[in-house]
Amino acid sequence: MGLHALRFRLVDSENSWGAKRRQRRAGWLAETFPDLAQMSVIDLGGRVSTWAQSAVRPKHVHVVNLEDAPADVPEWAEVDRGDACALPRHIASRRYDLVFSNSVLEHVGGHERRLRFAETVHALADAHWVQTPYRYFPIEPHWIAPGMQFTPVRLRVAVARRWPLAHTRPDCREKAIQQVLWTELVDRSQMRHYFPHSQIRAERLAGLIKSLIAVQTGRA
């Protein structure tokens, strides 16, 4: 219980170290896109609550993920249930000022699906901001487990079931396998491949790359 409380203080609470890092990243987003408050944004895999708490909120936010829509959606937002790698036609045919995605690329399900995700990003807008944790940061960010991403699947499953800093430990081995196999961190070469015309920015912690962000402003 004490170690799980440590996770809450590190990354999950509103005043945690992780929350401060997310706030800093949001500031970076606003600096990169100074017209953000006037933009229409599609958020692939996100939540309305993230934007509701943001210091700078876009004029309109369209959230698309695999979860059911919340009961209350503010007037400046809309929410659809959909697969970002294969959007339904009524969404895929639209255009936005900016495509945003935070910590989703590593969960879409392998190389071919990541290619489809990138195609979706390029098709929806001229500008994008796609963030994902960096594979070679020494701490696996989802479980806060040192080096977990470099170990065999069998060991990762064991860690997922027992590691005290996990967000929610699965109650059976099959659920643990699903969590592990649906989490695949990427490196800089992969990001350059998926977003060849984007600037690949590095978010650092203690001098080490913690996450990668593919940025395209859409400006000439």
pLDDT digits over 70-93, tens only? 889 999 999 999 999 999 999 999
Domain at 2-138+184-216, CATH homologous superfamily: Vaccinia Virus protein VP39 (3.40.50.150)
| Separation between Cα atoms, residue 170 and residue 167, nearest integer Å | 10
Q: 53 Cβ partners below 8 Å, 6+ apart?
A: none
Q: 141 Cβ partners below 8 Å, 6+ apart?
A: 103, 133, 210
* Structure tokens given for 66: 């695999």
Q: 64 Cβ partners below 8 Å, 6+ apart?
A: 42, 43, 44, 45, 79, 80, 81, 82, 84, 87, 91
Per-residue pLDDT, 18: 60
Q: What is the pTM of this model?
A: 0.91
Burial (CB count within 10 angstroms: exposed 0-12, middle 13-18, buried 19+), residue 34: exposed
Asked if 216 and 125 count as a contact pair (C-beta separation under 8 A), the reply is no
pLDDT digits over 41-67, tens only? 999 999 999 999 898 999 999 999 999
Torsion, Cα 79 85 214 177, to 10 degrees, reads 100
Per-residue pLDDT, 56: 94
| 134 bridge partner residues | 186
Cite the residue boundaries of each domain of the chain with CATH code 3.40.50.150: 2-138+184-216
Query: In 51-94, which ranges are E strands?
Result: 60-65, 77-81
